[in-house]
Amino acid sequence: MTSTAPEPAATSATQVELSIGGMTCASCAARIEKKLNRMDGVTATVNFATEKAKVSYGDGVRVDDLIATVEATGYTAEEPAPPAREEEAAGAAAAPPATDADLHALRHRLLVSVALSVPVVLMAMIPALQFDNWQWLSLTLAAPVVVWGAYPFHKAAWTNARHGAATMDTLVSIGTLAALGWSVWALFFGHAGMTGMRHGFDLTVSRTDGSSSIYLEAAAGVTAFILAGRYLEAKSKRKAGAALRALMELGAKDVSVLRGGKEVRIPVAELAVGDRFVLRPGEKVATDGTVVVGASAVDASMLTGESVPVDVTVGDPVTGATVNAGGRLVVEATRVGADTQLARMAKLVEDAQNGKAEVQRLADRISAVFVPAVIVIALGTLLTWLLVTGDATAAFTAAVAVLIIACPCALGLATPTALMVGTGRGAQLGILIKGPEVLESTRRVDTVVLDKTGTVTTGRMELHDVVAAPEVDEAELLTLAGSLEHASEHPVAQAISVGAVARVGRLPVPESFENVPGLGVQGVVDGHAVLVGREKLLKEWAIKLPRELAEAKAAAEAEGRTAVAVAWDGEARGVLTVADAVKETSAEAVAQMRRLGLNPVLLTGDNQAVAESVARSVGIDEVIAEVLPEDKVEVVKRLQGDGRTVAMVGDGVNDAAALATADLGLAMGTGTDAAIEAGDLTLVRGDLRVAADAIRLSRKTLTTIKGNLFWAFGYNVAALPLAAAGMLNPMIAGAAMAFSSVFVVTNSLRLRSFK
């Protein structure tokens, strides 16, 4: 086994974070990033999901210059909040990029477009529904869809055109407007508007009279399909800031402060350095501080990943958002607001999300080449026909046919359908996939970093071994120790009492009980004077552990377990060991990951002995232990710097930033909200085997999306020569688009059989 300590982070230039507005796709983020990086001394990363730009710049560059560059590219940028409003800025950073009002407006646009589009498509495809003048009703229904429903695409296409760029928005805008424009011309100036006009089913390849053909179903249908995809994307973006909000919500909301010898309840935001506050059992620590009165055990597992509660007494530090699991404490605040460890971890998560390279969508990458090519072909077709035949109507018909056959009906379905089927099947298996960008990461991953507590292990203290002294009955040992520990609030004590009940049944009620801070408990059970706790507690009563019990205690501690000594009536009677138990399925999960070509690494804040013991039991060779929460990010970055593509599996607040930094973050659904929201994939069941299933399903879904995109473009590309030659019958165009859409949907449905 190898143990590696994290390296210190490198220093960076002056940094600023800008809020970016007006982006519609990953191509927009790439364009802004490219423009900023062309500036001298500037290094920028633009994240489409969070709508933020993280920019490092040197001397001679001002924030105003950065904003001006973004605005010159066709987007908006806002300056960071001034230092005096740091808390407000933190709240804004956690706010989602898409507000509820934005999402509601997009949903409204989608529902109206679908309601108007469905009759148009049905009338065009089912001759029995084509009554006299049906085409005019189609125009009445389709026009609002193409003009109003597709307005976001037209606006984005215009913005892109002004900067010499083309994306899927350009393709959608040109295709839908061309289809609507030609249909309007054919209805008003051609023969398509005549009473009694019908769409036939002649599928022969021949030149046709374009003035009698309308394409309203293509224009309206494509708009509705693409809007549906954008709505799903917007819902995913709505959650981009949820990790930060979940982190901030972990902290206490109010606190009892000592003022003039009395307790006064105030909001945590009003707490100042030097204030003393009271902490009762079960309450969250309001802020980072130092214990000045009392002794207790603090459960810091949600924040540090350490499964064993930490005993604290006067002079010991405590961290905000951890939980007091024992007695009453008085704590003096040493750090408040943005200086606390919780706030610093929230900043780590935000930085990781903003710095994470956003993978451009496959459709956008292809359309960057496909769209300009189609436009060039359409213009070439128009000019060629004019030069060869001199027939303006035939030339325009052929040119518009090129644009219409390129209209991405199947392309609009390629990603959403595969994603919907894949995520639906994943949900049945306990896997939640955040979005299409996640899928591309799964194919490249070669290293999987596993958090220990709550991921490989249960995250709960459990009674492990019971070692009784010679001539001592094990059931009696558990009964007396479990009875006394049942009266204690300490997590180790609770693990012993729960384990005792499971093994011996009902426990007697102690006749007396006393908690000995930092050492254990003592009392009388069934007439026996019982001691349960550290070896030091027994020594205070002049009781020494015999050799066999001392060896059992040493062996347990060598394995990283917590050993508790038990004595009664003046003699040591046994040793109970408590540990964070390894999940039954973890070893099988590690084996499955290896079969997928992944190298597992165990990462934990626990001590080296505990980590290596757990690693041996599940078959992991590489261990990185005793890592502070903020250093987990550096460990992931160092592995990435070594050329590895890293997946991270975790469940705690301390894992949130590392999950966001990793190339692929897998959050255990049994963990904290902060970890779940920071992950790319959520494993609902908390079974580590699901991590291997998630990677397999993601890879399969990505393969399906790529296949869909290939065929979505394939049908269009194959029909382009026919359209350019003026040989494209409207029904062939409709059949080609319909068949490509059916193929894409059918191909996506194959994911339902994933096991």
Q: Which residues participate in catalysis according to the annotation?
A: 451
| 591 touches 567 (CB < 8 A) | no
The DSSP bridge partners found for residue 513 are 523
| 660 touches 353 (CB < 8 A) | yes
> What residue type is assigned to position 663 of the chain?
D
- DSSP string of 362-380? HHHHHHHHHHHHHHHHHHH
Candidates 718, 732, 734, 729; CA nearest to 210 is 729
Q: What are phi and psi of 724, to 5 degrees?
A: -65, -30
238/250 Cα distance (integer angstroms): 20
135: Cβ contacts below 8 Å, ≥ 6 apart: 187, 192, 193, 197, 214, 216
Beta strand pairing call for 262-267 and 296-299 = unpaired
84: Cβ contacts below 8 Å, ≥ 6 apart: none
Total residues found in the chain within this entry:
755
The DSSP bridge partners found for residue 565 are 533, 575
Candidates 585, 587, 579; CA nearest to 607 is 579
Chain centroid, CA 303 distance in Å: 19
| 705 touches 274 (CB < 8 A) | no
Helix%, strand%, coil% for the chain, nearest 5: 55, 20, 30
Chain centroid, CA 324 distance in Å: 30
Tokens of 381: 């077709």
41/54 Cα distance (integer angstroms): 14
Q: How many CB atoms lie within 10 A of CB 460?
A: 15
Helices (H), ranges, 522-607: 535-540, 547-558, 586-595
Q: How many CB atoms lie within 10 A of CB 710?
A: 12
599/698 Cα distance (integer angstroms): 18
Helices (H), ranges, 9-99: 26-37, 63-72, 86-94
| 371 touches 170 (CB < 8 A) | yes
| 408 touches 402 (CB < 8 A) | no
415/399 Cα distance (integer angstroms): 28
| 605 touches 560 (CB < 8 A) | no
Beta-sheet strand order (sheet of 329-335): 262-267, 254-259, 276-279, 329-335, 288-293, 317-318
CA–CA distances in Å: residue 161 to residues 164, 196, 230, 556:
5, 41, 20, 69
186: Cβ contacts below 8 Å, ≥ 6 apart: 192, 193, 210, 211, 212, 213, 214
CA-based max dimension of the chain: 114
36/288 Cα distance (integer angstroms): 39
Q: How many CB atoms lie within 10 A of CB 85?
A: 12
| 199 touches 130 (CB < 8 A) | yes
